[in-house]
Structure 1
Amino acid sequence: MTIIIILALLALCLGVVEIFIIPGFGVSGIAAILCALADVVLIYQFYGFLPAVLSVAAALVLLGLMLWWVSRSRMLDRMALHSTISSSSASSDQLSVQVGDRGVALTRLALIGNARINGKQVEVKSSGAFINPGTPLVVVAVNEANVTVEACPQT
């Protein structure tokens, strides 16, 4: 009987550690699941099928009640990030590029690479084809931080 209580408390403690201290599905989460399973197996061996099923049902009901309580409480609000990010990942060089600007590929554009456009080094995205370094480019689209280019014949 004592080992059953110890395993249940250990599973509970490891579950709390997994949720609040070490987030992710790691060693403590797996250990909590194994302790809970061992607990159910011991209940089945010592007391039979019905008490084992009742203990699993009670654990599921308690888990549901805890999830309901946590979702209604302010606990999640304290754990959540509420700040807003007002900056952009685009550099000032990328923001100065316009559709129709011409440049040259500095690196191989295996869909994404660097190009020199208007004398500035800019991260660009190819419109689909691989483009080798030194290939002349034309800007076909600018969406926020994404500059899309295509290879163009030299003029």
Structure 2
Amino acid sequence: MVLDWVTVILLIGIGLVLIVVELIFVPGVTIVGILGFILVAVGIWIGYAALGTTTGHIILAASVLIGGLALFYSFRSEAWSRFALKGAIKSRVNEENPHLLEVGEEGRTVSALRPQGTAVFKERHHEVQTTGAFLSPNTPVRIIKIVANKITVEAIT
């Protein structure tokens, strides 16, 4: 009788811990959550089979109540906030070093433009794109459009 109680309590306790770990730490549905659910279900089943129907109902109700309260208080008390990522990136790409280029400037491709790649203007590398044409490396190019940080070029013929 005592061994049945110990088995039920251990199975349900370990199962609830695994379910909480699944919800907090492991994204998605994985073996951890499935194993936790199975352990809780087996613990409740053993409670019904070994200890009787009335005791099984009490074990089921207590398991649901304890699991719900553990989840509620763990989120409410922010016990998991020390594990959360709190940093935020507030900057933007190329915000610190504007390109200072103008339409009509000429340069040379460094990499193949398929249709995006790298080109050199005023001895600085810039990410550029064509209007759809593929250009080989070391091709002379001219800037035809600049929108924000998007530089569009064409081959000089």
Indicate conservation of the 8 Å contact 2:18/2:35, yes or no: yes
Q: Secondary structure at the match of 1:14?
A: helix
TM-score w.r.t. length of structure 2: 0.59
1:75 to 52, 72, 79: 79
Per-residue deviation, 1:5: 1.6
Give the letter for the 1:96 counterpart. Answer: H
Indicate conservation of the 8 Å contact 1:97/1:117, yes or no: no
Q: Which residue of 2 aligns with 1:33?
A: 37
Q: Which has the larger radius of gyration?
A: 2
Per-residue deviation, 1:7: 0.9
CA separation in 2, counterparts of 1:62 and 1:112?
57
Per-residue deviation, 1:119: 1.8
CA separation in 1, counterparts of 2:131 and 2:69?
51
CA separation in 1, counterparts of 2:22 and 2:68?
18
Q: Which residue of 1 aligns with 2:11?
A: 7
Per-residue deviation, 1:120: 0.9
Give the letter for the 2:10 counterpart. Answer: I
Indicate conservation of the 8 Å contact 2:18/2:36, yes or no: yes
Per-residue deviation, 1:4: 1.9
Q: Secondary structure at the match of 1:140?
A: strand
1:112-131 matches, cutoff 5 A: 112-124=116-128, 126=129, 129=132, 131=134
- What residue ranges of structure 2 are gaps of 5+ in the alignment? none
Indicate conservation of the 8 Å contact 2:135/2:155, yes or no: no
- What residue ranges of structure 1 are gaps of 5+ in the alignment? none
Q: Which residue of 1 aligns with 2:136?
A: 133
Q: Secondary structure at the match of 2:118?
A: strand
For residues 48-87 of structure 1, what are the alpha-carbon distances to aligned partners after superposition, in whole Å with 9 as ceiling and x for unaligned? 6x946972x6544444434433343243544444455455
Q: Secondary structure at the match of 2:13?
A: helix
CA separation in 2, counterparts of 1:74 and 1:99?
52
Cα RMSD for the two superposed structures: 4.1
Indicate conservation of the 8 Å contact 1:8/1:35, yes or no: yes
CA separation in 2, counterparts of 1:53 and 1:107?
71
CA separation in 2, counterparts of 1:140 and 1:53?
73
Q: Which runs of 4+ in 1 moved over 6 A?
A: none
Per-residue deviation, 1:139: 5.9
Q: Does structure 1 residue 98 correspond to structure 2 residue 101?
A: yes
For residues 122-147 of structure 1, what are the alpha-carbon distances to aligned partners after superposition, in whole Å with 9 as ceiling and x for unaligned? 234x366363333525263353xx43
Change (3 A) 1:39 1:102: farther
CA separation in 2, counterparts of 1:68 and 1:3?
26
